[in-house]
Amino acid sequence: MAHVFDLQTITRHLVEEGYAVIENVLSKELLALARERVSDLMSQEREQPFHPTDGVPSEDDDEIAAYYKTSYTVSDAEAQRMVARTRHYRQQNENTPWPVPVNKVSKNFLHLPTLFDHDKSQRVWNLINKAPDLAPLVEHEVVLPMVRTILGQDCNLHDFESTSIGAGTGGGAWHVDAPLGQIAEPLPEFPMMIQNVWMLDDFTALNGATRVMPRSHKLRKVPPWGGASMAGEVTLTAPAGSVAIWLSNTWHRSGPNTTDQPRRAILCNYCLSWLRQFTDFTSTMPPGIAAGLSNDVRYLLGYAARAPQTR
């Protein structure tokens, strides 16, 4: 028998507390498919990480490498891959440099590491292009109505990625999601984005389950930098197949994983339609895939949700 969820009560808790957890949402079939796709992609990308060679050296290459080394827990090899990806990005953009140092650049314009925690943890970006059969997660009947209740019917998908928090890692730093961490305080009093995390493994207090600070979205400021525990923090624990949701201005971080197994998830981040999406889905989607997606998914990805080509 299918579960029945009180979406009105859950949405009210999300708005008031800044987060919500809904247990056992995914069917066994969809959970198994998601686990299989993520496992395969992570294995492939760990064996063959994206390292383009078409860019040209720049005078700020060392500055870019240093930025990734100090801002993220990345290896020397991953830092050099980030330099290569930055060169590639510039090559695609007429070799146009940024007008500000890399630490001031909008994170929407930066490649972010795929391997972090000194290569113990991993991300797979742009998951919809690599596993289009996971599109049901993007328009899930439990999550999308709540997102649209808060952000409006014309919201878009900001990001769609998978993560694996590696065994023996210390957890992340408290933050709010980009671009909120780069704008002046006070932060907007209304939600601009909503993050939801599909749990592919059980989320426990020991394996890196996300920590949130209830009602921190009402403070309208970013958290102090660091990963120390905070009084009143909540650990979002639930079995695999559940979903955790929070407003992106709610303070949150990944917890430490003290087990000997990774903790995997799929992240769907939704945004107001007038924000620039974190991922440019439409320009990177392989030909023919979009036609097989629903109208809801296509609009969420950005089709018909961008400036027209005027003539």
Domain map (residue ranges) of the chain: 7-48+119-301, 50-113
Two tokens at 62?
């060392």
What order do you get walking across the sheet with 252-254 strand by strand? Answer: 234-235, 210-212, 252-254
Q: Measure the CA–CA gap between 203 and 237, rounded to whole angstroms.
A: 5
**Cα end-to-end distance, the chain, whole Å:** 54
Q: What is the pLDDT of residue 2?
A: 59
What is the CATH code for 7-48+119-301?
2.60.120.620
Q: Measure the CA–CA gap between 236 and 252, rounded to whole angstroms.
A: 10
Q: Measure the CA–CA gap between 201 and 35, rounded to whole angstroms.
A: 8
Q: What is the pLDDT of residue 307?
A: 86
Q: What is the pLDDT of residue 265?
A: 98
Stated as kind and residue range, the H or E segment containing 268 is: strand 263-271
Helices (H) and strands (E) in the chain, counts: 9, 10
- Quick one: residue 232, left, alpha or beta (phi over 0 = left, psi -120 to 50 = alpha)? left
With tokens 């921190």, the residue in question is 216
- In this structure, are strands 121-124 and 115-116 parallel, antiparallel, or unpaired? antiparallel
Q: What is the pLDDT of residue 3?
A: 77
Q: Measure the CA–CA gap between 193 and 18, rounded to whole angstroms.
A: 12
195: Cβ–Cβ under 8 A, 6 or more apart, which residues?
177, 245, 246, 247, 248, 252, 267, 268, 269, 270
| Bridge partners, residue 175, by sequence | 252
104, 110, 111, 114 alpha-carbon torsion, rounded to 10°: 50
DSSP 37-59: HHHHHHHHHHHS------S---T
pTM beyond cutoff 0.75:
yes
Going residue by residue through the chain, which has 311 residues, state the pLDDT in tens, using 9 for 90 and above: 457 899 999 999 999 999 999 999 999 999 999 999 999 999 999 999 999 999 999 999 999 999 999 999 999 999 999 999 999 999 999 999 999 999 999 998 999 999 999 999 999 999 999 999 999 999 999 999 999 999 999 999 999 999 999 999 999 999 999 889 889 999 999 999 999 999 999 999 999 999 999 999 999 999 998 999 999 999 999 999 999 999 999 999 999 999 999 999 999 999 999 999 999 999 989 888 999 999 999 999 999 998 898 88
| C-alpha distances in Å from residue 15, one per residue of 135, 150, 190 | 26, 8, 10
Q: Measure the CA–CA gap between 165 and 59, rounded to whole angstroms.
A: 34
pLDDT digits over 38-53, tens only? 999 999 999 999 999 9
* Residues 14, 143 contacting (CB under 8 angstroms): no
What order do you get walking across the sheet with 121-124 strand by strand? Answer: 19-22, 243-247, 193-199, 263-271, 156-165, 121-124, 115-116
Q: Supply the mean pLDDT for the chain.
A: 95
Q: Measure the CA–CA gap between 106 and 204, rounded to whole angstroms.
A: 33
- DSSP assignment letter at 163: E
* Residues 299, 144 contacting (CB under 8 angstroms): no
Q: Measure the CA–CA gap between 267 and 70, rounded to whole angstroms.
A: 25
